[in-house]
Amino acid sequence: MSRLNRGAHRRRARKSRTALLESVPVMATLLLGEIDTDIRIAFTMLFRRAGYHVITAADPRSILETAQRQGPDLVILNLRDDDGPDTCRILRADALTSDTPVLMLSADLYPDAGAAAAAGADAYLAKPLNNDDLLHQVHSLLTARTGECPTGRRDRPADADAGVFGHEVPVS
């Protein structure tokens, strides 16, 4: 790819990210269930820069309690082994959380997309993943929940589309 084409490609990608970020709902609340502290911090920073309110939990029990208490707009589960699908099943069975969209993430072969769907997840992303794919999926799930493109949002930092500290969040 020539130098000129790379520049045009970067501008289109930046414009795409900016358009996506500008259509985020006003302070939609995400519950991030992540056991790894470093990944939890990186994802929290990414989502906050994108204009979301983020609450976190580190284990299945606290995820379930927080979901019931806080009523998030979306739950993102990144748990190992059976914890992800089991937590998703419990969220689906609970009257307070049964309608809350769930996005499952995994770097392992299990749970896979089939296990995530069987547990009731609305979407599944395999790691490694990039910021744009993750933000796009979050936006899509929130938009699908309301049935319309969300309008309005709080102001975002000028560098929100640059990723965490101006770089992609490396997640594996």
pLDDT at 16: 61
SS3 string, the chain, reads CCHHHHHHHHHHHHHHHHHHHHCCCCCCEEEEEECCHHHHHHHHHHHHHCCCEEEEECCHHHHHHHHHHHCCCEEEEECCCCHHHHHHHHHHHCCCCCCCCEEEEECCCCCCHHHHHHHCCCEEEECCCCHHHHHHHHHHHHHHHHCCCCCCCCCCCCCHHHCECCECCCCC
Task: Look at the block and give the residue holding tokens 């089939």.
Answer: 114
When mean pLDDT is compared over 27-31, 75-79, 93-97, 123-127, the highest value belongs to 93-97
- Which residue in 35, 57, 32 sits closest to 44, CA to CA? 32
Residues 6+ apart with CB under 8 A from 23: 139, 149, 150, 153
Domain ranges of the chain: 3-148
When mean pLDDT is compared over 12-16, 131-135, 145-149, the highest value belongs to 131-135
Residue 171 pLDDT > 80: no
pLDDT at 72: 95
Q: Hey, what are 18's tokens?
A: 């900016």
pLDDT at 159: 40
The string of pLDDT tens digits covering residues 16-25 is 655 555 554 4
% of the chain exceeding 70 in pLDDT? 67
Query: Which carries the bigger pLDDT value, residue 148 or residue 128?
Result: 128
- Which residue in 82, 134, 132 sits closest to 105, CA to CA? 134
Residue 142 pLDDT > 60: yes
Residue 157 pLDDT > 70: no
Return the CATH architecture of domain 3-148.
Answer: 3-Layer(aba) Sandwich (3.40)
Query: Which carries the bigger pLDDT value, residue 107 or residue 140?
Result: 140
Using pLDDT thresholds of 50, 70 and 90, give the confidence band for residue 31: very high
| Average pLDDT score over residue span 73-97 | 91
Query: Which carries the bigger pLDDT value, residue 154 or residue 88?
Result: 88
| Average pLDDT score over residue span 60-77 | 95
The string of pLDDT tens digits covering residues 35-53 is 899 999 999 999 999 989 9
% of the chain exceeding 90 in pLDDT? 50
